[in-house]
């Protein structure tokens, strides 16, 4: 018994002294209301939703059609939605209030948050911790420093750019020199443009009304120079000052990527919109359904489709020399099924 206990302790020793997992140097994510959803989880949700387009019963609430393509700079394009969560994007009974939006080729278009006033686009962001690599980083063919700065983040702490600028404007005289943050300064890119002026810092913290001056010694400091240019925010960890990660906005550059990848809407000119129980189904929406059905049919013919047993793409008996198939028409999320 003693021998087994000793062996168990020895087996656990490597876990006790194991180094913590390294944080990724940069992460693509979405901020929907107050929740952060990674691009990885968003793509998982799109994959699931796209698969359910074929296998979910016609009366299912999701996948749902989405007619607000203009939110993403697309005109006359039928899109679809599926619930998305920060983790575990699998089939589940609850739907939450966040949705991935995808097109007929199962391409992620963006994320939306459902509000009483209607859907709103989630912020599409890139977070980068290793600021030294930003001088060579391009995101969707756009230089990092050309992207709009959103704020500074560490875990659940978020300091918005506009709030930081306002804080500096009204509290500039309280900033002081602080040689102890020298190591943190070495981690910022293009520091030469800021150090032409004197470097100053101020302890800050998040209060009920936003950024405020820290009442006591605090391990968060806002760094500026005497020209009121903001360098960043740093935190003290293991007696070493480290920069907060930067968040920059990707909505516009990702929108351009989606638009360029899609190309113009062509084909199926004979389609016409319809009204079903007060819900207008546009020509664009019918086209998107047809494109997705054709995509599934091609996958079947190529032997790459694995949903044969559960597929809603059904063959109808026909007296003509053409095969006829049916495909479920996905209605908007607010449609009352069973009418």
44-96 pLDDT, tens per residue? 999 999 999 988 888 889 999 999 999 999 988 999 999 999 998 888 888 99
Cα 130 from Cα 37, distance rounded (Å) = 20
Question: Exposure of 281 by Cβ count < 10 A (0-12 exposed, 13-18 middle, 19+ buried)?
Answer: buried
pLDDT tier for residue 5 given thresholds of 50, 70 and 90:
very low
pTM of the model: 0.84
Quick one: tokens of 8?
Answer: 């168990």
Cα 235 from Cα 231, distance rounded (Å) = 13
- Count H helices, E strands: the chain? 6, 22
pLDDT one-digit tens code per residue, 256-291: 999 888 766 666 667 777 787 777 788 888 889 888
Average pLDDT over residues 227-256: 92
Cα 211 from Cα 213, distance rounded (Å) = 7
Q: Which residues are CB-contacts of 192 (< 8 A; sequence separation ≥ 6)?
A: none
Reported as half-sphere exposure (CB side, CA atoms, 13 A), residue 275 has a value of 2
- Structural domains in the chain plus CATH codes: 21-147+250-339 (3.10.450.30), 160-245 (3.10.450)
In the predicted structure, residue 17 carries a pLDDT above the cut 60:
no
SS3 label, residue 83: strand
SS3 label, residue 137: coil
């Amino acid at each position: 018994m003693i021998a087994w206990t000793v062996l168990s302790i020895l087996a656990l020793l490597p876990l006790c002294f194991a180094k913590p997992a390294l944080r990724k140097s940069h992460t693509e994510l979405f901020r929907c209301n107050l929740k952060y959803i990674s691009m990885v989880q968003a793509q998982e949700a799109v994959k699931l939703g796209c698969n359910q387009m074929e296998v979910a019963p016609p009366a299912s609430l999701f996948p749902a059609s989405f007619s607000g393509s203009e939110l993403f700079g697309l005109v006359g394009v039928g899109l679809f939605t599926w619930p998305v969560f920060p983790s575990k994007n699998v089939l589940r009974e609850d739907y939450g209030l966040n949705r991935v939006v995808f097109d007929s080729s199962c391409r992620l278009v963006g994320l939306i948050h459902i509000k009483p006033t209607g859907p709103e686009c989630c912020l599409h962001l890139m977070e980068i911790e290793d600021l030294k690599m930003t001088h060579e980083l391009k995101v969707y063919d756009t230089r990092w420093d050309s992207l709009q700065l959103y704020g500074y983040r560490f875990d659940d702490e978020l300091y918005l750019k506009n709030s930081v600028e306002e804080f500096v404007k009204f509290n500039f005289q309280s900033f002081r020199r602080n040689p102890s943050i020298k190591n943190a300064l070495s981690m910022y890119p293009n520091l030469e443009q800021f150090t032409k002026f004197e470097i100053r810092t101020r302890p800050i913290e998040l209060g009920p009304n936003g950024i405020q001056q820290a009442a006591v010694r605090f391990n968060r400091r806002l760094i500026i120079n005497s020209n009121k240019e903001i360098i960043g925010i740093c935190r003290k960890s293991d007696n070493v000052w480290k920069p907060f990660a930067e968040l920059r906005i990707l909505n516009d550059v990702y929108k351009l990527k989606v638009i360029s990848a899609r190309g113009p809407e062509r084909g199926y000119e004979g389609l016409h919109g319809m009204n079903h129980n007060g819900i207008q189904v546009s020509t664009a929406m019918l086209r998107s359904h047809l494109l997705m059905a054709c995509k599934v049919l091609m996958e079947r013919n190529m032997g790459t489709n694995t949903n044969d047993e559960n597929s809603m793409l059904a063959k109808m008996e026909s007296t003509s020399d053409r095969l006829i198939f049916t495909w479920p028409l996905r209605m908007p999320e607010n449609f009352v099924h069973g009418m």
